[in-house]
Amino acid sequence: MQSIKPTLLPCPYFGSIEFFCNLISNECVIEVNDYFVKQSLRTRCNIYGANGLLTLTVPKSRKNSSKTLFKDIKINYDHQWQKEHWESLTSAYRSSPFFEYYEHELQSLFQKKYTFLKDLNLEMMTFVCSKIGISTEFNLSESYINNLDYVDKRMYNFDKIELPRYIQVFENKFGFISNLSILDLLFNEGNNSKYYLETINL
């Protein structure tokens, strides 16, 4: 019987629901030694705001070379992006069923200053996984992985599949928006989030 190959995943900022479906359904390795990819899920996530789809982006410090490893990318704090992200999340989800259960702990994470994007993303992923009830023991790459023993999804956007509907705060205004950040599922479904993820057939 052929063994299932482990999956190589990027390290996202509050990854999409599809990303977390991959995370819980496969043996995974999080790649942190690849070259940084601009305008990808490594620095941005999509939430459902009062005016529809809203993208939150983490600014990075500029470097002269475009060939910078993801693990070496530093966060830029020239403007108060953490405050903006938190206010956007509060505005979008304060009336969702489960926001209040996670609010204080998540807010404290937005008050910490992380030097490296990798550390921010892993801390946020740990928070989400702990609330959903899935493992927070992530396998991180020790060096860039370049072999055929993995299913390579490092360049995926994880926004391709149509997901089953669940109730969203502003659904009556714009309809159901599929495959948003995992936070949308967590705030709307709470303890049911893990079951929802397990029902998705990738």
96 phi, psi to nearest 5 deg: -75, 160
193 phi, psi to nearest 5 deg: -60, -45
pLDDT of the residue at 89 = 98
32 pLDDT more than 80: yes
Per-residue HEC secondary structure of the chain comes to: CCCCCCEEECCCCCCEHHHHHHHHHCCEEECCCCECCCCCCCCEEEEEECCEEEEEECCECCCCCCCCEHHHCEECCCCCHHHHHHHHHHHHHCCCCCHHHHHHHHHHHHCCCCCEHHHHHHHHHHHHHHHHCCCCCCCECCCCCCCCCCEECCCCCCCCCCCCCCCCCCHHHHCCCCCCEHHHHHHHHHHHHHHHHHCCCC
Whole-model pTM: value is 0.94
State the chain's mean pLDDT as an integer: 94
pLDDT band at 77 (very low <50, low <70, confident <90, very high): very high
pLDDT band at 120 (very low <50, low <70, confident <90, very high): very high
Nearest-angstrom CA–CA distance, 3 and 38? 34
Nearest-angstrom CA–CA distance, 188 and 144? 36
Nearest-angstrom CA–CA distance, 6 and 28? 5
Average pLDDT over residues 14-29: 94
Tell me the HSE value of 26 on the side-chain side, using a 13 A CA sphere. Answer: 23
Cβ atoms of 158 and 137 closer than 8 Å: no
Chain segment 90-99, per-residue pLDDT in tens: 999 999 999 9
Chain segment 129-143, per-residue pLDDT in tens: 999 999 989 999 999
